[in-house]
Structures are given as structure tokens and as C-alpha cells.
A and B are shown apart, each in its own frame.
Chain A
Amino acid sequence: MRALINIPKTAKQGEAFEIKIIISHPMETGHRADDVGKPIPRHIVKELICHYLGDEVFRAELHPAISANPYFSFFALADRTGPVVLSWSDDKGARAEESMTISVE
């Protein structure tokens, strides 16, 4: 379950910085059927969590109404240099995590 994550390389202390993520996922709703009428089971990302310096920035609980290859943008408050960690999981138990460092001056 790969993702593209964009955060700025640096930020000023006390400033807000934007975090953007696109997760590669079909977000299959469970409402569709294939060409011969067989229902396609639901398969969605259920949760996305962002931590910065070990504390929570943002947490999203997702439902099938979120588009495929889901995109989110939200803001964290720059405090000091350290890791921004994004983790997400889907309804089949797959989990993924990615960490990036932001330099705060």
C-alpha cells in the first residue's frame, strides 16, 4: 500500500506546515458488481493517522465515500526538527507506515 507524501523540507518554529498524502488504493465501495453480476467486495482504507514528534496531528476515519487513491491535506505546527510519521490501514488488515523528517529552525 504505497503512498506519495509531501511535506516541506524546512519550516519556521511556530509556523503551520502542510502535509499532503495520496494513498494508492482502489477504495472499492462494495456496492459494485463485475461484468457477470458478481458483487465486488468492499476494500477500503479505514484509518489514516499522522504523528509528529510522537504526538498525534491528525486522524481520519474513512468510509467508502472517499475516492479511490485517496488524497488528504492537513496542517501541523512546526515545533522542532523531527519525524513526521504517517500510518494507514485497510479493512483487510494491511498496514503501512512512512516517516519523513522536517527541519525546524
Chain B
Amino acid sequence: MIKSSAIAFVFLVLVLVGSGVLAQGRGDDARAMQADDAANPAFLWVKRGEDLWHVRPGPDAKACADCHGAAEASMRGVSARYPRYEENLRRPLALDQKIDQCRTERQNQPRLTPENDDAIALAAYVGLQSRGMPATANSDGPSAAYFEGGRRLYETRMGQLNLSCAQCHDRLVGERLGGSIIPPARVAGYPIYRLDWQGMGSFARRLRGCMIGIRAEPFLPDSSERVMLEFYLAAREKDIVIETPAVRP
């Protein structure tokens, strides 16, 4: 026997869902956290990144600050350019890959996976130096081929659920998937503090979650697919402002 109060509850939820009243709530909390640096947990990572910036990682290694000086000056606008086409590699690099390249080639340090807390911390600290600035990643010259590759991936149906990124994150933005509001595909806030993760993560991690959700084999963080997608998303929209470090539901 179903209680009438239970029926009333279900009806209420369906009506609210249908009328879009539930559109608020989740985004509000995240936005409020992001608006106050003193309440944004991402700043735990930013502070760590600032510490790492000034530390010599080994006896023979320089600190980031030894070459780059004060990050507020030298890194201003830098993350806004990424992912960025590298002439000598002839492919784009994401910011986390560029930082890793500096660490391995110029500081003699071992590689870090993108989800390593120190890697996130450095990316958050460097990214913060572009906060409020317009994203300037572009698909000029030889990078156009990678932009096109990213666009094709974005629009290709994948996984057992046979969905493309574009279907949800372009065409159904603001609609609901279960209890979640579908966000637009933006990369200007990464690395992000995600409430569902209870921690900070990269675009690669977010992409992985989505692909597992549609039951596709996720692209590995260092794969060309991940970088092309990130490059496409960074370069396709004009007038996007860098929000790093963002808070998302």
C-alpha cells in the first residue's frame, strides 16, 4: 500500500522538475563558494602551489621562482593561452603538460600524473594568475587541424549510451539529467573544486567521469584525444573569462 503522502511527494517533485523550479540550488551553492576566496576550498591547493613555486625540488634543481620570478608577474595571462600549439612538438600542449615539461626537462623531476595533488596545486596557482582575463587560446595556423580533430571528437557519438558531448553540453544546456543540471562545455575554470569529488581535479578527470557515465572507454589523460578536446573547447568560444580556480557541483 502506498501512502498518500508518498504519492503527493512524488507528484510535487515531478511538477517541480517539469516547471524548472529545481533549476536553482546546486549552482547557487557552488557560485557562492567560488565568489569568496576565503571560503573556496580550491585555495588550499592554490596555497600549496604557491609554496611549491618557491621550493627547490632537489639539491641540483632550481625552484620555479628562480627562473620565473614572481608568478603574479611572469604567469599573468599565461594559462589563458592554453592549450597551446607547441612549434617544436607540432601539437598542442595543455597547461598541466607544459608545467610537467618544465619540471621534467628543466628541474630534473619525475613526471606527475595530472591528478597528483602537487600537479593540481601548481596548475591552480598558475591558473589563478589569469583569473578575470579573457581566454586567448586560438586555433591559428597549423593548430587548426587539432581544433578540427577536437571538434570531431566532441560531436561523435560514443559509448554504450551512444551519446556525443555536443548532444548534452551544447544542445541540452540547462536541462536536467536526473538531479543534475547539464552545464555548458567550458574549460575556463580548471582545475576545479568539484563538490561531488570533495576535492580538486583536472579537465582530464572530468572528461573521464563523463565518458564512464556514457559507458565509453575513457580517454587517458595524456592522450591526444583529451588534449584535442580541451584545445577545441578552449579555443572555440570568444569572450570567455578565466575563472580558475572554479567551484562546480
Binding site for B on A (CB under 8 A): 2-4, 6, 20, 22, 24, 26-27, 67-69, 71, 73
Contact = CB atoms under 8 A, between A and B. Distances in A.
Given A20-B38, A22-B39, A73-B39, A4 B198 contact: no
A22 B41 contact: yes
A26 to B, nearest CB: 7
B221 to A, nearest CB: 19
A22 B44 contact: yes
B47 interface: yes
Nearest to B193: A69
B38 A4 contact: yes
A20 B40 CA distance: 11
Most buried by A among B38, B39, B40: B38
15 contacts: A2-B47, A2-B48, A4-B38, A4-B43, A4-B44, A4-B47, A22-B38, A22-B43, A26-B199, A68-B198, A68-B199, A69-B41, A69-B199, A71-B41, A73-B39
Interface size on B, as a range, is: 10 to 19
Nearest to B37: A6
A67 B39 CA distance: 13
A84 to B, nearest CB: 14
Interface string B181-203: 00000000000000000110000
Interface string B158-176: 0000000000000000000
Contacts of A26: 198-199
A69 B38 contact: no
Contacts of A69: 41, 44, 198-199
A24 B47 CA distance: 11
Interface in B33-68: 38-41, 43-44, 47-48
A2 B46 CA distance: 12
Nearest to A72: B39
Contacts of B198: 26-27, 67-69
Contacts of A71: 39, 41
Contact of A24 (B38, B39, B40, B44): B44
Nearest to B51: A2
B246 to A, nearest CB: 15
A26 B44 CA distance: 12
